[in-house]
Amino acid sequence: MKNRLSVVGLCGALFLLCPVCAGAEAPATPKADAGGPTAKPMAHSYDAGPHNVPPEGFVALFNGKDLTGWKGLVADPPKRAKMTPEALAAAEKKATEEALKHWKVEDGFIVYDGKNNSLCTAKDYGDFEMYVDWKIHAGGDSGIYIRGSPQVQIWQNRVGSGGLYNNQKNPSNPLKNVDNPPEQWNRFHIKMIGEKVWVWLNEELVVDNVTMENYWERGKPIYPTGQIELQHHGSTLWFRNIYVKELK
């Protein structure tokens, strides 16, 4: 009997020591810090080929072998408009010769050493749809000029790439940051109709039907046509899979 009472007494003591048994709440399991640093996964990997082969309905602006169809940058649209055709041709020839010292083709992509100026399409485009793959180093800065005007932004920044950076009255930032980590390939899908622009980055919509403003002449709407430019901003850059489809 004495042993039985001892066992009962021991169980009662354990009951009182156990908060769950006594009816109290058990201590909560510590939760992971949701605000702590986490490694950002790649949204999409674009390493798989084939590369520089346009999808149906698109034309390749870069053939993966050389810079045929590209030229060096001469001034800005208002200044180019004031030049005679002969003067513009001479200036473009000189600019292209210099550009080709810094914009090279390596292993099927365009690489830029950051030491010259923007690279431009030889042809002007109005309404169009395009794809371009790009990557940039940590802290880098670049962009895609459309109709000769800045720009669909490329950079390593918490805001994210894809915004119409030079807009003042209309949205300039992307809807979200979906950039891949530095020196990983990203893909833009850009559509421009009239003065409106849509941008998808890594298959996520980041600019939705936004008016692109005229950076060069603020009082005027964006130009109806113009060259596409890979922007120089002093950073090493890589581009490939550049396709365009003109929209009638």
pLDDT band of residue 24 (cuts 50, 70, 90) is very low
pTM value is 0.81
Query: Which among 36, 234, 40, 244 is positioned nearest to 154, based on CA atoms?
Result: 234
Lookup result for tokens 């800045």: 150
What's the pLDDT score for residue 15? 34
Q: Cα 246 from chain centroid?
A: 21
Classified by CATH at the fold level, domain 61-246 comes out as Jelly Rolls (2.60.120)
Residues 6+ apart with CB under 8 A from 47: 185
- pLDDT tens digits, 104-118: 999 999 999 999 999
What's the pLDDT score for residue 234? 92
- Domain borders along the chain are 61-246
Terminal-to-terminal C-alpha distance of the chain? 100
What's the pLDDT score for residue 46? 77
